Structure 1
Amino acid sequence: MSLPDGSVFAGFTVVRSLGAGGMGEVYLVKHPRLPRSDALKVLPASLSADAEYRRRFEREADAAATLWHQHIVGVHDRGEFDGRLWISMDYVEGSDAGNVLRTQCPGGMPRDQVFAIVTAIADALDYAHSRGLLHRDVKPANILLGAGGPGRGRVMLADFGIARRVDDFDGLTSTNMTLGTPSYAAPEQLLGEALDGRADQYALAATAFQLLTGQPPGGDSTPMVLISKRVSGVVPRLAEFRSDLADLDPVMAIAMARRPADRFPSCADFAAALARGAAPTLPPVVAPAAPAAPTARSSPAAAPMGPVRQPDPPVTARSGLSPTAWALSGIGALLVVALVFVGVVLLRGRDGHSGATTSAEATATSAETPEVPVTSVESTSPETATSLVPTTTRMVLPDADSRGFTTYNGAARCAGADEAAMILRTAQSVVVICRSSVGVLYYLGYRLSDGAKIRLSTVHQSGDGYVAINDPDAAEYHVSSSGLEIVQNGKTLASEPAVESAR
């Protein structure tokens, strides 16, 4: 039940309502003793009566009260009145960033204003992380802009009401799937996995995407499609909404990487890279090779396993490719529920490399040989055109089963309980297209010449085969019973006829 203007609640006099949502109502109130105005959040009676939620609320309000930062809305007090929990906070005169987008900047804010907002919020988040606290619900609606506007007024991060300690895993988050907002939540948060400050960095990047384009990072996708994209590592592209923002896409690809280890070390690092317009460095994979030469161990005839991120590549804007169309074929309405509520159980058991990533991984798997760099450049030798002829699509391979190849040290084998949708062997490579427990496809490749591996998370079915996309540089890997072709910007980089394949 909402509180009328002029009423008194827990000693506070209600001036007017500031907003309401599923987690309660917020009012502008007069302090009972001090000559100031506060923002009072009053939780619904249903939540207040929940013993588990009450315990979490009290602990998180106490944690938030320890934060003292110029860009964090301060928490003053908490309590219970008339069967409803409440928390009093600083009142920031102005509006939230989400409302500013809707009413003033539907096509996105000027980039300088967004940089100012992101820098301020990044500083606030890093401060909270240094004190062992996470926010877990960074989004435009929780960023308050003072009446002066960005650069002139206050920029404040609100609602640390779901903050918790980084090492808090005592069961208070058994309902973690309901915490945070899916449009901005990191993949590991959607899966109920352990979180650290890089989950907030992901949400800040998703928020920056909306501030710059006026569009939520998930678009108008259904919850099922949105969650599957996040878990699969799909990163939205700014350039598809504003071509003048193409230089920021490489930065967003890092901050919104599927694996936390592939993101920036801190929120401030992300904000600084965003302001510069390009990522200063990319997470290293292997030692860089000389830029216009083939790898030391590979011959000109060996096909590259694909462009692999290097520590210091030149950043160029990409255009011309739309995002992969995502469809979970054969999955009915029951999967909508299963994906959200059972997905954690199905996916949590995987090892650290089982989740799809936005970048290719390249490592040498043989213990007897040193790591060999895998470059993204094409061979300097002339390419010989190869005609691909389909192989038998139902043949049984002696060293393969329903999860892929049993050889190659497990490098071409689906993770956990995932099953192979297609397996392919050429003279140079082996490839497995895997399908996860929730129907998400991913690509595993292994180069026979030097043991280099690649994993791609953007995969869709095409004809009798599949197409995987290496998002950082838009190289396409066409896999079919005929063989493997790697195409970039319309040019064929490699063509490997199939020796044998199976589906």
Structure 2
Amino acid sequence: MGQVFLVENDRLQRLEAMKLMAVGSTDAQFLRRFATEARTAAGLDHPGIITVYDYGVTRGVPWYTMRYIPDAVSLDGSVVEPRDVMNVLGELSEAIDYAHSMGVVHRDIKPANIAVSTATDGSIARVTLLDFGISRVLDETRMTSADAVVGSAAYLAPELVQGGQPSAASDQYALACTVYQYLSGAPLFRADSVAALLYAQAHADPRPLTGAAGPLDTVVRRALSKDPTHRYETCTAFSDAFAGAVLASQAPTEFNYAQVARGAITPEGAAGTGAPSAAADGQLEPAKQPAAVGSSAIQDAWRSGSNIIGGIGRSASRNVERDLRDFRSRAVRVPERLWWRFTLLLVATCLSMWGLVAAVLFGADAYGQAVEAGRRWWLDTEVVLQGIAALVGVIVLAFFATRFLRAAREVRSNWKRD
């Protein structure tokens, strides 16, 4: 999908990850969609979702910058012990449900888009979900590329295969495919062709999770239901059911709910053996079941340099394209509190202007009546009161207008400029 570089933001003096997408396009519709997806991703504010700082297109090559996660690894291709899967799933489900509550569907959940940071003892310290919709837009521009299509088809919900729209339920299906792969070491379905893989997603039954506890297989199978209405109501509900199955399958002395709640579980495990079998003749073939492993799989992934952001860690590259050397980070989105301040000041400014206009009109009317009656207008009580009201109105209007203009400048400086 592209290359990721470690760059230094000169203005903010911080390290950031810059992803240069492998697919470029000058099509106006593509550029609009890429910008929309990037702004949407930047609008999500959750510790389990990668923070997008900036984006753009240079010479037809889309790029965006995001938070740099030191020592993050991908568990793609690893067999993960159920207790570690429970911890990863717990954090992922909260992040995904948050995005759904904001009306955003990820559409491309898979192990390669999940960054896992570990503590010194090998336990899971942090889980971060990457590429919220951005890579998906680019995938759709390269449907002739078998690798890109297969990469998404392996986690594609049946309703999407049949032409349905992405939804929270389809994200849950992709999450369940990811959990299945973590537990088994192999994708849910394997095939030599895209057509066979898509057919399997829509019609084939998943292979049982051999070696996993019965309740775990039952929980995962429900999230993999062909009918989206038969899946869990939320990803968090799926996570809770999975945690319950893991807890039920473990001895009470091994860990408890308090450990789960604070994420303090330090699982024991040993490296597994065996490897997934290859598919033949385009037929779906069960994989050989590797022995389960624990946190050692995570440690091995880091030792092998399997960094989630394409080699950014200890082997980081600072060779960014020359045209992007003048990169300066700008906030892609306006902070919510700034929007509220801007809106309130706009309303206050308009009300102040209306009050000033009303005071002037009423004062003019009182002045006319005083002159018509032959009174000294400067001694007329109503004229004086309206004059005072107009003076106060000018002061109030100046107060709010000054602050409104200041807020407007802040909004403009924070707003993304392509």
TM-score (norm 2): 0.53
C-alpha separation in 1, matches of 2:161 and 2:241 = 26
Partner AA of 2:235 in structure 1: C
C-alpha separation in 2, matches of 1:205 and 1:35 = 39
Aligned counterpart, 2:69: 92
Paired residues, number = 247
Aligned counterpart, 1:286: none
C-alpha separation in 2, matches of 1:113 and 1:66 = 29
Cα distance change of structure 1 residues 30 and 278 upon mapping to structure 2, 3 Å threshold = closer
C-alpha separation in 1, matches of 2:135 and 2:226 = 22
Q: Which aligned segments of 4 or more residues in structure 1 are displaced greater than 6 angstroms? A: 172-180, 325-329
Equivalent residue for 1:248, pick from 216, 222, 234: 216
Equivalent residue for 2:3, pick from 25, 32, 52: 25
Aligned counterpart, 1:372: none
C-alpha separation in 2, matches of 1:257 and 1:176 = 26
Aligned counterpart, 2:240: 272
| Aligned-pair CA distance for 1:80 | 2.6
C-alpha separation in 1, matches of 2:32 and 2:86 = 37
Aligned counterpart, 1:121: 92
- 1:65-464 alignment to 2 at 5 Å? 65-99=42-76, 101=77, 105=78, 108-148=79-119, 151-162=123-134, 181-220=152-191, 222-239=193-210, 243-277=211-245
Partner AA of 1:145 in structure 2: V
TM-score (norm 1): 0.45
Deviations 1:91-140 (A, max 9, x none): 112243335x4xxx4xx111110110011111110000000001111111
Q: Find the structure with the greater CA-based Rg.
A: 2
| Aligned-pair CA distance for 1:151 | 4.9
C-alpha separation in 1, matches of 2:128 and 2:177 = 17
Partner AA of 1:114 in structure 2: V
Q: Quick check: 2:83–2:246 contact (8 Å CA) kept in 1?
A: no
Cα distance change of structure 1 residues 87 and 270 upon mapping to structure 2, 3 Å threshold = same
| Aligned-pair CA distance for 1:62 | 0.5
Deviations 1:137-187 (A, max 9, x none): 11111100114287542210011143899xxxxxx9799997771111111
Q: Quick check: 1:142–1:158 contact (8 Å CA) kept in 2?
A: yes
C-alpha separation in 2, matches of 1:233 and 1:190 = 13
C-alpha separation in 2, matches of 1:63 and 1:233 = 34
Cα distance change of structure 1 residues 328 and 30 upon mapping to structure 2, 3 Å threshold = closer
Equivalent residue for 1:41, pick from 19, 23, 33: 19
C-alpha separation in 1, matches of 2:6 and 2:282 = 46
Partner AA of 1:116 in structure 2: N
Q: Quick check: 2:84–2:124 contact (8 Å CA) kept in 1?
A: no
RMSD over aligned Cα, in angstroms?
A: 3.3
Pair 1:63-2:66 in alignment: no
SS of equivalent residue, structure 2 residue 233: coil
C-alpha separation in 2, matches of 1:173 and 1:144 = 23
Q: Sequence identity, in percent?
A: 34
Q: Which runs of 5+ in 2 are unaligned?
A: 249-278, 284-418
SS of equivalent residue, structure 2 residue 183: helix
Q: Which runs of 5+ in 1 are unaligned?
A: 1-20, 166-171, 281-324, 330-503
C-alpha separation in 2, matches of 1:132 and 1:144 = 23
Deviations 1:370-398 (A, max 9, x none): xxxxxxxxxxxxxxxxxxxxxxxxxxxxx
Q: Quick check: 1:225–1:326 contact (8 Å CA) kept in 2?
A: no
Partner AA of 1:84 in structure 2: V
| Aligned-pair CA distance for 1:251 | 1.0
C-alpha separation in 1, matches of 2:207 and 2:9 = 44
C-alpha separation in 2, matches of 1:197 and 1:181 = 16
Q: Considering fraction of residues, name the structure with more helix.
A: 2
Q: Quick check: 1:187–1:258 contact (8 Å CA) kept in 2?
A: yes
C-alpha separation in 2, matches of 1:188 and 1:227 = 11
Q: Quick check: 1:184–1:203 contact (8 Å CA) kept in 2?
A: yes
C-alpha separation in 1, matches of 2:49 and 2:199 = 32
Cα distance change of structure 1 residues 120 and 60 upon mapping to structure 2, 3 Å threshold = same
| Aligned-pair CA distance for 1:276 | 1.1
C-alpha separation in 2, matches of 1:244 and 1:259 = 24
| Aligned-pair CA distance for 1:31 | 1.1
Partner AA of 1:157 in structure 2: L
SS of equivalent residue, structure 1 residue 146: strand
Cα distance change of structure 1 residues 228 and 279 upon mapping to structure 2, 3 Å threshold = farther
Cα distance change of structure 1 residues 248 and 72 upon mapping to structure 2, 3 Å threshold = same
Cα distance change of structure 1 residues 123 and 262 upon mapping to structure 2, 3 Å threshold = same
C-alpha separation in 1, matches of 2:135 and 2:247 = 29
Q: Quick check: 2:107–2:133 contact (8 Å CA) kept in 1?
A: no
Q: Which structure would you say has the larger RCO, counting Cα contacts within 8 Å and 6 or more residues apart?
A: 2
Cα distance change of structure 1 residues 270 and 176 upon mapping to structure 2, 3 Å threshold = farther
Cα distance change of structure 1 residues 36 and 328 upon mapping to structure 2, 3 Å threshold = closer
Aligned counterpart, 1:302: none
Q: Quick check: 1:42–1:84 contact (8 Å CA) kept in 2?
A: yes
Deviations 1:434-479 (A, max 9, x none): xxxxxxxxxxxxxxxxxxxxxxxxxxxxxxxxxxxxxxxxxxxxxx
SS of equivalent residue, structure 2 residue 24: helix
C-alpha separation in 2, matches of 1:145 and 1:269 = 22
| Aligned-pair CA distance for 1:79 | 1.6
SS of equivalent residue, structure 2 residue 196: helix
C-alpha separation in 1, matches of 2:100 and 2:136 = 10
Q: Considering fraction of residues, name the structure with more strand.
A: 1
